[in-house]
Amino acid sequence: DRVLLTFPGAASHFPSGVTHLTGLPIRPEITAATRKEAANFFQLREDKFTLLVVGGSRGSLRINQATTGLLKRYKDKDMQLVWITGSQHFEILSKEFEEEKLPDNIRVFPYLFNMEMGWAIADLAICRAGATTLSELAVRGLPAILIPYPYASEGHQEKNARYLEEKGAALIIVDEFLDEQTLFNNIEGMRRNKFRLLRMAQIMKEEGRLRALDDILDVIQDIKGSDIS
């Protein structure tokens, strides 16, 4: 038997000798997208600090509630915000946007099909901690504030997020403690410390596995070879 792992922390749950750390295969577009392309895509400045907030395809009510309060704080600030609300919450939130016109430095979407552009424009991400999300963060070398989904099976999101936090690539805010002020404080603590943000990006990049698909195929080939012998 062989067990292929996305993150090293899961190895302790399996017998010794059966696990292989391969990572999760990532679309080539994720790593190929450039910041310049992303700036053109969003019609934003390439040279401005940019925050990306995303709560998954359906969105996260708690993340969206905390982010709503950031709009006034970051209005006309010397930074940019790309916010993906999720399709489930966009209609309700869009009514608030109509009442108060969004400034030029903020972009809001219900869903982003070109997710590679979101990662490419960002200097810091606020997101859940699913396996695909973390794998894409890692290959991009994008530091993050992670809010693990509290109801994920066997707490796997928090376990993977803790691994990255312990490495120094990310920070965690527990879902039940997330609010506007907590989120703002953590964002500002990272945004104002460029050395810290750069170091987190370097560590995150080291966790990226660009050869994930090749490594998986190598394991499969090894199994086939063992069967033949």
pLDDT(177) > 50: yes
Residue 228, number of CB atoms within 10 A of its CB:
6
pLDDT(150) > 60: yes
If DSSP codes are grouped into helix, strand and coil, which group holds residue 68?
A: helix
pLDDT the model gives residue 166: 96
The closest of 110, 118, 145, 112 to 129, measured between CA atoms, is 145
For 24-51, what is each residue's pLDDT tens digit? 999 999 999 999 999 999 999 999 999 9
pTM exceeding 0.75: yes
- CA pair distance 158, 177, nearest whole angstrom: 14
Walk me through the domains of the chain, giving residue ranges and CATH numbers.
27-209 (3.40.50.2000)
pLDDT the model gives residue 57: 72
SS3 content of the chain, % helix, strand, coil (to 5): 55, 15, 35
pLDDT(228) > 60: no
- Please state, for a pLDDT cut of 90, what percent of the chain lies above it: 71
Which is higher by pLDDT, 2 or 141? 141
If DSSP codes are grouped into helix, strand and coil, which group holds residue 178?
A: coil
- CA pair distance 49, 121, nearest whole angstrom: 9
- CA pair distance 50, 47, nearest whole angstrom: 9
For 211-226, what is each residue's pLDDT tens digit? 999 999 999 998 887 6
Chain centroid, CA 44 distance in Å: 20
- Residues 177-202, mean pLDDT to the nearest whole number: 97
